[in-house]
Every structure is written in structure tokens, then in C-alpha cells.
Amino acid sequence: MAVLIEGISVVARQDAVERKYPGGWAAFAKNPPNNTFCADDSLARVGFMNPDDVRAYVTMLERSGLIFQDEGRAVDFAVVDQSRRPTTPVEWLSLGKIEIKGCEITIAWIGEEYDGGVAFPSGWSPEGALRFVAADDMDDRMKFLRRENGVEVYLDLRTGKEMYVGRPRVDGGGEDSAFIALQAVIHEALEIEAEMEPLKALGDAEGLVPLVGKLRRDLLPSAIAWTEGETAEMAFPYFVAGVIHRILGEKEKAEQFLKDANRRQPRVLNTLRELVRALGEQNRPAEALPFAREAVEVAPLDAGAWGNLAMCLIQCGEMDEAQSALHEALLIDPQDPINRTIRDNYFSEK
């Protein structure tokens, strides 16, 4: 038998899921992130329409104990692009095309020989099959219009028709659902931040308006919503909200959410880094210093953490200790451009 492949599909081996996923196959199949889940007797498949959602789901599976790839080859699950085939070489998976009611579809199965039969998601029909648009065609071809009921609506500039991009359904609640949703939010927020940087440098206030609007209108409320209910004690929603506030330039709010995240889950490197940044941008290096020290305890081989500590110490006037911290950073990564700049600006080369 085989499973349907549409959009960007994550295809997992059932035997690996049973061995490694908490609660085994029953737990895995019970609460999929959206309604595209289907399975045959050896594979499970979940489809997505947005690469950020795929990355979030892959991360969740890895956190749950499944291995995505080793030495460049898929192990327990694979990611298959409907138009470009597997994103990573996968020896145990075969792909092919069949026709159903005049609609050509892609299918996947384990092994070499396809013995007939296809597992489809509940409610799937050939008439509703996806029309695939490659990710690198989206900017040129698709114009974002709006979000409604968890669906992004785009205008196809070639056909003049509206197209709909579904995002993972998270109404089931729980930490796994929250993690998937929030990973997508943080990826999108960081991509927007990257778009904002050159606009800020050019003083293009008009160009910033839609990006700031998307952060404030769409992404920030999504993160804050997960700080309520059964996920209220989960640290990740507070971290994501803190990062978005920081991108928006709301430093005090960023600090508040990041401290909430750190209180709920201490000693997380990314949270500590963001706290150091939030406090540093408020010219409060003495308050940032304990978090910078803790970051190098948590990740003693992270050059960026040592560089952050060096800058905090410099701003606190502790130059000897700062030089020692910077020395550690450059031992770990002699080519790190930020730490090299700190060295060149504050210390003479030995």
C-alpha cells in the first residue's frame, strides 16, 4: 500500500514511531497537527503548505526522539516536496504517480514494489487536490491578501484567482500543538526582522508599516494566546512574545516576557541571550551580567555566549575579565566576526 503525497509531506516509518515516540504509534496517530494525516500499514504522512510549518513539525518530531537524518540520509522520517521529491536522500522510500478519476497524484511506499492501494486523508477527493506552487515562486507569483479562520489567502497573479494556504490546526491544545504553532510564529517573526533591517538603514518608514503591522496584528497575538489556559506555564510562548516585542522596539515588554520565560524554564541559552540583549539595549549592563554569566555556564562552547559576556563586562568596566571572556570566545571560533570586532575595538592584538 502507499500514502498520498501533496504539498510538502512529512513521511514517517511506523516501526520507528512505535519504538521511539512517547506513547508509541497510538499517541502519534491520536493528535496530528492538521487534517492531512493518513497512514497505511507501514507509513504515516502529514502534509503542509508552508515551509515554516514543516520546520516546526520536524523539530517537534526530533524533540520526541525521532531522527530526521544522519550523514545526509533520512532515518526515521523524510520530507517530500510534491514537485521536487525528497529533500534528503532516503533509501527506504519509493515514490510514483498514479491517476485517479483523471487526476494525477504522487504516492509513496516502503520498499521497491508498489502492490496497490493508497491511504488518503479523511475527506480527500481528486476534485480538491492541491495545486502546488514552489516556495521560490511565491514572491513573484502570489500576493498575500488576508488571513481568515487560520487560512492565508493569496492572489495568484498569473490566473487572477484566490489561493488558500492552510496552517496547522492547533485546536487540540497541549504543549506539542503549542510548540508547532509557536515555531512557525518565531520563524516568521525572525524573517520579518531580517526584512526590516535594510529598510531601517534606509529610513524607509513606509516600507516598515506592513511588516510592523503583521508582527503586531498577527504574530504577537498568536504567541500571547498560548500564555493562557493549559499552556500558561509553558515557557516557549513567553519567549516568542518577548522576541516579537524586542523586534518591535518595545524593550520593557520584551524584558518582562523573557523573564517570565526564564522563570518557567531556567537555563535555556536562547532565552538568556535575548535577556542580555533586552537589558543591554536599555543600558542596564549590570542587570544583564548575571544572565550573560549563566549563558556561558549553560553553553561553555558557544562563542556567542562568551562574546556577550565580554561586552557586558566591558560596559560594566571590568576590562580584565572581559578580555579573558573574549579570549575564550575566539579560542572557540577565531573567525567569529562580532567577537573579532569587539577585540579590534577594545583590545590590542597580542
Q: Residue 306: give its domain's CATH number.
A: 1.25.40
Among residues 123, 150, 181, the one where a domain terminates is: 123
Helix (H) or strand (E) holding 52: helix 51-63
Phi-psi region of 107 (alpha: psi -120 to 50; beta: other; left: phi over 0): beta
In a domain, 92, yes or no: yes
Give the C-alpha separation, 301 to 44, whole Å: 38
Are residues 238 and 222 part of one domain? Answer: yes
Helix (H) or strand (E) holding 47: strand 43-48
Give mean pLDDT, residues 178-206: 88
Are residues 80 and 23 part of one domain? Answer: yes
Are residues 219 and 265 part of one domain? Answer: yes
Q: Residue 104 — very low, low, confident or very high, per pLDDT cuts 50/70/90?
A: confident
Give mean pLDDT, residues 199-225: 92
Cell numbers that stand for 62 in this block: 526530533
Query: Is the Cα torsion angle 192, 193, 197, 203 positive or negative in sign?
Result: positive
Three-class secondary structure of residue 12 per DSSP: strand
In a domain, 342, yes or no: yes
Among residues 281, 310, 326, the one where a domain terminates is: 281
Cell numbers that stand for 226 in this block: 498560548
Are residues 229 and 307 part of one domain? Answer: no
Give the C-alpha separation, 207 to 96, whole Å: 45
Listed range (142-146, 226-230, 272-276, 297-301) with the worst mean pLDDT: 142-146
pLDDT score of 171:
41
Say if residue 43 is exposed, middle or buried (CB neighbours under 10 Å; 0-12, 13-18, 19+): buried
Q: Residue 169 — very low, low, confident or very high, per pLDDT cuts 50/70/90?
A: very low
Listed range (149-153, 169-173, 181-185, 322-326) with the worst mean pLDDT: 169-173
In a domain, 286, yes or no: no
Give the C-alpha separation, 110 to 148, whole Å: 38
Give the C-alpha separation, 20 to 104, whole Å: 35
Q: Which residues contact 64 (CB under 8 A, 6 or more apart)?
A: 20, 21, 22, 176
Identify the residue with better confidence: 130 or 104.
104
Cell numbers that stand for 181 in this block: 504553532
pLDDT score of 230:
76
Query: Is the Cα torsion angle 74, 75, 79, 81 positive or negative in sign?
Result: positive
Are residues 34 and 104 part of one domain? Answer: yes
Our count of domains for the chain comes to 4
pLDDT at 81 over 70: yes
pLDDT at 274 over 90: yes
Among residues 255, 281, 307, the one where a domain terminates is: 281
Are residues 224 and 213 part of one domain? Answer: yes
Helix (H) or strand (E) holding 219: none
In a domain, 287, yes or no: no
Segments forming the whole domain that contains residue 250? 170-281
In a domain, 178, yes or no: yes
Give the C-alpha separation, 116 to 100, whole Å: 13
Give mean pLDDT, residues 138-145: 60
Please check whether residue 274 is in contact with residue 259, taking contact to mean a CB–CB distance below 8 angstroms: no
